[in-house]
Amino acid sequence: MMRWAGEQLGQMACGVIRQLNLENEQVEVVQIGSLYDGHPLMTEAMRATIQQVAPRARLVRLTAPPVVGGVILGMQQAGFDTRAAHAKLIATTKKLIGR
């Protein structure tokens, strides 16, 4: 079951990679949520499936609280340069939510 789930998630990621023509790029596939805290077999199957299409792709876990992404998108839409604020946003948010 875990292998099947990983393969299915990998196929979905492959669909996006193909649509964006990123097969030959060093692309990061970001894993978000507690789903990926389970059995490593799922992540291994996902990685193997993705690397058949995009051998340079790598899986990374999201380390920032998900809300930070929304804040960054809002700041970018308002014209702010978020590069300098990125680390501070993550640290402050983790402190506020107790992570």
Per-residue pLDDT, 99: 64
pTM above 0.85, yes or no: no
Question: What is the Cα–Cα distance from 10 to 57, expressed in whole angstroms?
Answer: 11
**Is residue 90 within 8 Å of 68, Cβ to Cβ?**
yes
Listed in sequence order, the DSSP H helices in 20-66 are 40-53
The domains of the chain are located at: 2-61, 67-97
Low-confidence ranges of the chain (pLDDT < 50): none
pLDDT given for residue 4 in this prediction: 96
Give residue 84's pLDDT. 81
